[in-house]
Amino acid sequence: MEDVTQRLDALVARLAAAGWLTQEPVRAALRGVPRHLFVPPVAWTGDGGRVHRRTDPERWLDLAYGDDAIITQLDDGATDLDTGQGRFTSSLSAPSTVVSLLELLDVEPGHRVLDVGTGTGWTAALLSRLAGAENVTSVEIDPQVSERAAANLKAAGCSPRLLVEDGAQGWAPGAPYDRVHATCAVARVPYAWVEQTRPGGVIVAPYDPGFGSSHEVRLVVLPDGTAIGRFTGYASYMMMRSQRHPEWDDFLSEATRSTTFVDPRTLGYAPAGADLAMGAALPGVRARGIHDGDRYTLRLWGPDSWATARYEPGREVYEVEQAGSRALWDLAVSAYFAWVVQRSPGRDRFGVTVTPDGDHIWLDQPVN
């Protein structure tokens, strides 16, 4: 137990020194909910080898109290975690990202909290410490994940309400909520969360529309049934299952070929503010860069169109391919330079309004 205490103290000290941990209630919750109780017997961060608690307990504890996510599921449970091969579909989130979202949530004792994506149960346990377990409802779409979380929470002495439900629908019987906290990323904020949160209530979630960066978003629900807020920082989480982005495929449609003087890396390496601007101009479009040695290809794709732009060293112009109903490279370039004309605003100048019709991204002031 002394080893656990020392490691927990060191984790708390690192998070505080890095500026992640500033609120005493969150600090107390971290100390009250030992993270190792939520780490599987074989710990793996996605890099390096897997560490077994039985054969290497010291390294296992080091991972438990490090600041890395620990992978707990591959391919929705279809692939054995020991293979190390497959899509990451569930994890124990990194402490710094968990603390960042909890501090944005600003939970008070007695707040009624909806936790979307139970996962290992660690965040539900932290929320139980902050609000009281009787006030926390945690929903998880995967029955096996929920079952393991229940065992973890029991070992930790926490008893929030656990439900196997689709978090995109919230859980109306527990409404109205004072706080909604998501541990999975969303491309669109489910309006059910807004409907089920009382006016003045707060929604905090990782926001990943698919174009480059992903973001923390903090929303406040208004009396008119909308929610409004800003993007506060970076957050990387696994996507909500019902909102997963389509993967790149080998598109068969005939493409139009052209060249461009714009280096594809200009868009591909653009900061978060540019990603928000381009994503708002191209809703439903995903952007990802692929490195091949010193070459770089920017891929853009959506339901009806795709494009690639390729950088190669020594070239003065770069090859572009576009297909479908929209010229995605041309639209992305226009959106990027419109962002430049606006003096390259950062992520913190962008916000979002959530209505029954969807999400509406704005710069500086909400668009009426």
- pLDDT tens string 48-82: 778 889 999 999 999 999 999 999 888 888 888 87
Question: Of 73-77, 91-95, 151-155, 214-218, which range is least confident?
Answer: 73-77
Q: Residue 252: is its pLDDT beyond 70?
A: no
Averaged pLDDT for residues 217-224? 98
Domain ranges in the chain are 2-34+93-241, 256-341
CATH 3.40.47.10 fits 2-34+93-241, yes or no: no
Q: Residue 1: is its pLDDT beyond 60?
A: no
Residue/partner pairs of 286-290 with CB below 8 Å, 24 or more apart: 286/210, 286/211, 286/245, 286/246, 286/248, 287/210, 287/211, 287/212, 287/332, 288/248, 289/264, 289/265
Q: Residue 3: is its pLDDT beyond 90?
A: no
Give per-residue pLDDT as tens, 81-132.
Answer: 877 788 888 889 999 999 999 999 999 999 999 999 999 999 999 999 999 9
**pLDDT bucket at 368, cuts 50 / 70 / 90:** very low
Residue/partner pairs of 62-68 with CB below 8 Å, 24 or more apart: 62/7, 63/39, 64/7, 64/35, 64/36, 64/39, 65/4, 65/7, 65/8, 65/10, 65/11, 65/35, 65/36, 66/11, 67/11, 67/14, 67/15, 67/94, 67/95, 67/96, 68/94
CATH number of the 256-341 domain:
3.30.160.690
Which neighbouring-strand residues pair with 211?
Answer: 287
Q: Calculate the alpha carbon distances from 76 to 139, 210, 360 in Å.
A: 16, 20, 31
The structure tokens listed for 27 are 């600090």
Give per-residue pLDDT as tens, 14-41.
Answer: 999 999 999 999 999 999 999 999 999 9
pTM to 2 decimal places: 0.94
93, 128, 146, 214: which is the annotated catalytic residue?
93
334 labelled catalytic: no
Averaged pLDDT for residues 223-242? 95
The structure tokens listed for 1 are 């137990």
